[in-house]
Amino acid sequence: MYDVIVVGAGPAGSTVSRKCAEKDLETLVLDKQSFPREKLCGGAVSERTLKLLDFDIPEEVINQGCNGARVHFQGETVEVEKDYRLGLLVSREKFDSFLLKKAEKKGAEVKDGERVLNITDKGSHVLVKTDKEVYRSKIVVGADGVDSTVAREVLGEEISEEYFKLALENRVEEVKFQDKKCDGIIDVFFGDIDGGYGWVFPHRDFFSVGIGSYEDKMKKPLKRQESFLKDLNLDAPDDFRGHRLPVGGQGRKKVSGRTMLVGDAAGLVDPLTGEGIYYAIKSGKMCGETIGKAFSDEEPDLKELKIMKRDVYMR
Ligand SMILES: Cc1cc2nc3c(=O)[nH]c(=O)nc-3n(C[C@H](O)[C@H](O)[C@H](O)COP(=O)(O)OP(=O)(O)OC[C@H]3O[C@@H](n4cnc5c(N)ncnc54)[C@H](O)[C@@H]3O)c2cc1C
């Protein structure tokens, strides 16, 4: 019997498990993918996100420091450059593995390459069935991203389609941009993408170039990304990569019995900017601390878990 099983080892899951392990709780993290794993993302990590962590991000995980932005709108550009860091650009493969290692070092047990198929709240504990095993746990945290299996159990219903955005991203090598260098300035483009925006984020030797908007607003998303690249004088790539982003989590249920939700699984992405790593880490931290408090004895006080209500995440 585990004290806590965390489903998903992205930034949200690693943070919950690190916090639970710090409290000496028997913690298991399960992820269907084997780490290091790729995650489609612009890789922008804001300074406020870094402030949530009580450790530094090592140089080998950082692609680029960011200290400014150029905002483009209808042919006009406003550029802001600061003499201090505004955030980092990272490859999620390295960033997420680093955070997971931090949890492991604190004592969390990690089993990757193991998919959770379903969970069943038995009242006295929760059964977690994977494609390899069945585990028992006193608490289960769903940190399993936008298409969360755990969320379906917690919410007991499908989430309405209006709560999803769509983002597409391509990696473009620095040499393919004629007049652009991988400096510390990000570019954002408003006005061209209905209900959203386009971005060019300079990583060490490549750019993350992408667009994001609400699914119903962005007609023909592949064509839209192709024309965004064309406007930047870039050739259309051979493949397009896109993924959904969940929004509207503030008003959604996140705790039921012995089960809790964090990060994308809880719908915690900024609906305007699409920033999700901040909310993943913040909700993960608060969830871990809440579970820590709930376990004053061998058994958790489930009433304590209910403190993780809607607004707590967004404070
Ligand atoms: C194109 C794009 C660009 C983005 N750019 C940015 C950006 O620049 N900055 C930013 O802050 N945010 C960005 N986001 C949002 C950000 O990626 C997410 O909000 C963030 O990854 C959420 O973290 P998480 O830990 O909740 O979930 P995830 O990082 O999605 O991790 C979930 C984990 O759960 C695992 N999992 C899923 N199902 C199961 C299962 N059944 N069993 C076991 N494991 C499972 C997955 O393998 C995965 O490792 C972007 C999103 C997209 C789509």
Q: Cβ(275)–Cβ(44) under 8 Å?
A: yes
Q: How many CB atoms lie within 10 A of CB 139?
A: 27
Look at residues 233, 232, 221, 270 and name the one whose alpha carbon lies nearest to residue 70.
232
Look at residues 159, 181, 200, 162 and name the one whose alpha carbon lies nearest to residue 43.
200
| HSE of 2, CA atoms in CB hemisphere, 13 A | 27
If asked whether residues 94 and 35 sit together in one domain, one would say: yes
If asked whether residues 22 and 95 sit together in one domain, one would say: yes
If asked whether residues 193 and 126 sit together in one domain, one would say: no
If asked whether residues 283 and 151 sit together in one domain, one would say: yes
If asked whether residues 149 and 169 sit together in one domain, one would say: no
End of a domain among 228, 245, 262? 245
User: How many Å is the Cα radius of gyration of the chain?
Assistant: 20
Does residue 81 belong to any structural domain of this protein? Answer: no
The amino acid present at 252, given as its one-letter code, is R
End of a domain among 245, 272, 302? 245
The amino acid present at 268, given as its one-letter code, is L
If asked whether residues 228 and 176 sit together in one domain, one would say: yes
Which CATH number do you get for residue 191?
Answer: 3.30.9.10
So what's the pLDDT on residue 219?
Answer: 84
Which CATH number do you get for residue 110?
Answer: 3.50.50.60
Atom 9 (ligand 1) nearest CA: 44
If asked whether residues 228 and 266 sit together in one domain, one would say: no
If asked whether residues 156 and 259 sit together in one domain, one would say: yes
If asked whether residues 221 and 166 sit together in one domain, one would say: yes
Does residue 253 belong to any structural domain of this protein? Answer: yes
Name the domain count of the chain. Answer: 2
Does residue 80 belong to any structural domain of this protein? Answer: no
Atom 21 (ligand 1) nearest CA: 277
**Which residues on adjacent β-strands are paired with residue 212?**
167, 197
Q: What is the mean pLDDT of each run of 10 residues along the chain (315 residues)?
A: 98 98 98 96 97 96 96 95 96 97 98 97 96 98 96 82 88 80 91 92 92 89 92 83 89 90 94 94 95 92 81 53
In the DSSP assignment, the letter for residue 250 is: G
So what's the pLDDT on residue 26?
Answer: 98
Does residue 84 belong to any structural domain of this protein? Answer: no
Compute the distance between CA of residue 8 and CA of residue 147 in angstroms, rounded to an integer: 11
Atom 52 (ligand 1) nearest CA: 41
If asked whether residues 139 and 7 sit together in one domain, one would say: yes
Does residue 191 belong to any structural domain of this protein? Answer: yes
Please return the burial class of 27, using the count of CB atoms within 10 Å of its CB with bins 0-12, 13-18 and 19+: buried
So what's the pLDDT on residue 313?
Answer: 54
Candidate of 97, 148, 193, 245 to mutate for ligand 1, largest count of ligand atoms within 8 Å of Cβ: 245
pTM over 0.75: yes
Residue with tokens 């608490």: 139
User: What is the domain range of residue 15?
Assistant: 2-62+90-160+248-314
Please tell me if the CB atom of residue 150 comes closer than 6 angstroms to any atom of ligand 1: no
Does residue 72 belong to any structural domain of this protein? Answer: no
Atom 35 (ligand 1) nearest CA: 8
Does residue 76 belong to any structural domain of this protein? Answer: no
Atom 37 (ligand 1) nearest CA: 144
If asked whether residues 276 and 305 sit together in one domain, one would say: yes
How close is the Cα of 38 to the center of ligand 1, in Å? Answer: 10
If asked whether residues 7 and 36 sit together in one domain, one would say: yes
Candidate of 260, 277, 283, 287 to mutate for ligand 1, largest count of ligand atoms within 8 Å of Cβ: 277
So what's the pLDDT on residue 310?
Answer: 53
Q: Cβ(304)–Cβ(294) under 8 Å?
A: yes
How close is the Cα of 297 to the center of ligand 1, in Å? Answer: 33
Does residue 212 belong to any structural domain of this protein? Answer: yes
End of a domain among 200, 218, 245? 245
Q: Which H helix or E strand runs over 288?
A: helix 277-294
Compute the distance between CA of residue 95 and CA of residue 89 in angstroms, rounded to an integer: 10
So what's the pLDDT on residue 181?
Answer: 79
Query: Looking at ligand 1, which atom is closest to the CA of residue 130?
Result: 42
Residue with tokens 């499908």: 158
Query: Looking at ligand 1, which atom is closest to the CA of residue 114?
Result: 43
